[in-house]
Amino acid sequence: TRTPVNVTVTGAAGQIGYALLFRIASGHLLGADVPVKLRLLEIPQGLKAAEGTAMELDDCAFPLLQGIEITDDPNVGFDGANVALLVGARPRTKGMERGDLLSANGGIFKPQGKAINDNAADDIKVLVVGNPANTNALIAQAAAPDVPAERFTAMTRLDHNRALSQLAKKTGAPVSDIKRLTIWGNHSATQYPDIFHAEIAGKNAAEVVGDEQWLADTFIPTVAKRGAAIIEARGASSAASAANAAIDHVHTWVNGTAAGDWTSMGIPSDGSYGVPEGLISSFPVTCKDGKYEIVQGLDVNEFSRARIDASVQELKEERDAVRELGLI
Ligand code: NAI
């Protein structure tokens, strides 16, 4: 029998948490043969609801679920953690300035980064879902100097999946025929979904679409503003699709990308494609044996360059702001 993997989920009592925990416990995060132990980290006000969710997890009698622990202490929550999904964050409320948002989240992600540094297992892998995800990941990473920086990642997989789906709709191709799509930059309205290197059943996607106007005026804004469209329609922000993307992100990181394909992950830049080193920005990556690598050597055309640069500029500004606030 395999030793269980310790998976910590923050914000476990929230709506993404509710959509996420059952899929982790049923084997979708790591594999159908990998037992898991769950740690649910919440703030004191969220503990009771997290206990309710844990009761329901018990009631599923998942064969792979070997234990659930609930805590509001990050040092306990991350003790021995192999995978950490940082979902709980401070949302932007009406009238909140960016500086206020960043400092409120710094108050969450800096101590959590330190607790990961001090308590997590040596092979810890971190995915930040809570927004602003890229910069929250940077704050946590900076607070964890003993953990290799590349273990801190931010989620752009939901954007990636949204882009796949929009492209499938436009071309009539099944999602499974689409490969090598890329989300560049920040998980925000400035993100750039790039189809110039994507393939649809082996043909170049931009050529199959053959409509740069659709790219600029429909595809890119639809993907980038999809979160707001979901709120408008559902009356609540995306939860099941966000949880699904978190599952996909970690599953791919651990189990690898398919031959000939890649995925998108927010990761600390090594300077590739002109993205300043250390910024947590989305790149095309391949994964193998629990490690990822940036896809190198892609030709970046003018259309793409301008959009990547704009999103990276926003990431730089967020980094400078959290630096000024003393959060990194
Ligand atoms: P929610 O408000 O339903 O749940 C958040 C939970 O986090 C609450 O239960 C709260 O008590 C908890 N929490 C707050 N501070 C905490 C702390 N310091 N430690 C532990 N738990 C804490 O929010 P929801 O819908 O589950 O979304 C969570 C985050 O995910 C938000 O920041 C949202 O913007 C983000 N998100 C990111 C996406 C992405 O693609 N990267 C997509 C969708 C949402």
Q: pLDDT confidence of 184, banded at 50, 70, 90? A: very high
In terms of C-beta density within 10 A (0-12 exposed, 13-18 middle, 19 or more buried), how is residue 118 classed?
middle
The count of other CB atoms within 10 Å of the CB of residue 112 is 27
- pLDDT score of 1 more than 90: no
The predicted pLDDT at position 92 comes to 85
Measured CA to CA, the distance from residue 212 to residue 280 in angstroms comes to: 28
The predicted pLDDT at position 98 comes to 85
Query: Binding site annotation covers 16?
Result: yes
> In this structure, what are the phi and psi dihedrals at residue 305, rounded to the nearest 5 degrees?
-55, -45
Q: What is the mean pLDDT of the chain?
A: 97
ipTM: 0.98
Query: Binding site annotation covers 105?
Result: yes
Average pLDDT over residues 313-323: 97
Q: Is 187 a catalytic residue?
A: yes
- For ligand 1, residues with CB inside 6 Å are 10-11, 13-17, 41-43, 46, 87-89, 91, 108, 129-131, 133, 155, 158, 187, 237-239, 242
- pLDDT score of 91 more than 90: no
Query: Binding site annotation covers 15?
Result: yes
Average pLDDT over residues 291-303: 98
CA of 152 to the centre of ligand 1 (A): 17
Mutate to test the pocket of ligand 1, among 43, 157, 238 (most ligand atoms within 8 A of CB): 43
What does pTM read for this prediction? 0.98
Q: Whose CA is nearest to atom 34 of ligand 1?
A: 131
Give the nearest ligand 1 atom to 108 CA.
18
The first and second tokens of residue 258, run together, are 């398919």
CA of 87 to the centre of ligand 1 (A): 5
- pLDDT score of 95 more than 90: no
Catalytic residue (one of 28, 160, 187, 197): 187
Q: pLDDT confidence of 2, banded at 50, 70, 90? A: confident
The first and second tokens of residue 224, run together, are 């980038």
Q: Are strands 192-194 and 182-184 parallel, antiparallel or unpaired?
A: antiparallel
Give the nearest ligand 1 atom to 236 CA.
25
Give the nearest ligand 1 atom to 237 CA.
25
Q: Are strands 65-71 and 36-41 parallel, antiparallel or unpaired?
A: parallel
Q: pLDDT confidence of 122, banded at 50, 70, 90? A: very high
> What is the percent of the chain with per-residue pLDDT over 90, rounded to a whole number?
96
CA distances from 171 to 165, 208, 212, 215, 255 (A): 10, 8, 14, 12, 29
- pLDDT score of 93 more than 90: no
Query: Binding site annotation covers 14?
Result: yes
Query: Binding site annotation covers 11?
Result: yes
Q: Whose CA is nearest to atom 10 of ligand 1?
A: 11
CA of 44 to the centre of ligand 1 (A): 15
The predicted pLDDT at position 313 comes to 98
Give 4-45 pLDDT, tens digit per residue. 999 999 999 999 999 999 999 999 999 999 999 999 999 999
Average pLDDT over residues 252-279: 98
The predicted pLDDT at position 97 comes to 87
Average pLDDT over residues 116-131: 98
Mutate to test the pocket of ligand 1, among 87, 191, 231 (most ligand atoms within 8 A of CB): 87
Query: Angle at Cα 198 formed by Cα 297 and Cα 237, nearest 5°?
Result: 115
